[in-house]
């Protein structure tokens, strides 16, 4: 079996496949799903506002250093969303096991988990039952646990219930 594996690796290597292109295409697939998912749920506002729990926010839910007088263009908001989604993905991936990243994290599930992290924070999502379940190999249980994050300010919010249902749908793609 080991000889077969080495033979396949050698064949791929001999064909001149650039591994960085494989990584970038998986990032491209992830972004193709994550940006509309997160952007659609966050909604874009060019002027700063106070979110549901009173935090100054702009664009697609950006909160770092925002003041209520701030304004950004559509292009600035789009660039900020892409940058932040990749940052959240990188941070959240630190909580996933190597086995999870290799075998249980296709682009759709990755987008669902990063959407949760974007909404509740990297640490909250990373230490969640959803992430622990996925790392333990319980994909369906991990996906179900995403739906538990449906509160803001201690109360269930209909928009969060719908967002989590959307994330759950993506998370469960390919699960039988």
Catalytic-residue membership of 167? no
**CA separation for the pair 72, 70 (Å, rounded):** 7
**CA separation for the pair 116, 155 (Å, rounded):** 17
Please state the φ and ψ torsions of residue 58, each to the nearest 5 degrees. -145, 165
From the candidates 14, 18, 42, 99, give the one annotated as an active-site residue: 42
Please state the φ and ψ torsions of residue 111, each to the nearest 5 degrees. -60, -40
Catalytic-residue membership of 42? yes
Contact partners, residue 45, CB within 8 Å, separation at least 6: 57, 58, 59
Contact partners, residue 19, CB within 8 Å, separation at least 6: none
Helix, strand and coil content of the chain, in percent to the nearest 5, comes to: 65, 10, 30
From the candidates 14, 18, 51, 74, give the one annotated as an active-site residue: 51
Catalytic residues: 42, 51
């Amino acid at each position: 079996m080991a000889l077969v594996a080495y033979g396949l690796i050698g064949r791929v290597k001999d064909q001149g496949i650039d591994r960085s292109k494989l990584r970038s295409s998986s990032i491209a697939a992830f972004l193709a799903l994550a940006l509309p998912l997160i952007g659609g749920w966050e909604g874009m506002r060019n002027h700063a506002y106070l979110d549901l729990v009173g935090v100054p926010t702009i664009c697609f839910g950006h909160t770092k250093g925002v003041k209520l007088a701030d304004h950004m263009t559509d292009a600035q908001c789009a660039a900020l969303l892409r940058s932040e989604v990749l940052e959240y993905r990188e941070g959240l991936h630190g909580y996933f096991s190597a086995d999870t990243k290799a075998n249980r994290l296709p682009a759709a599930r990755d987008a669902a988990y990063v959407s949760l992290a974007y909404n509740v924070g990297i640490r909250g999502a990373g230490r969640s039952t959803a992430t622990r379940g996925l790392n333990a190999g319980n994909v369906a249980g991990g996906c179900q646990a995403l739906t538990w994050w449906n509160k803001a300010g201690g109360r269930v919010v209909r928009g969060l219930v719908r967002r989590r249902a959307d994330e759950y749908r993506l998370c469960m793609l390919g699960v039988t």
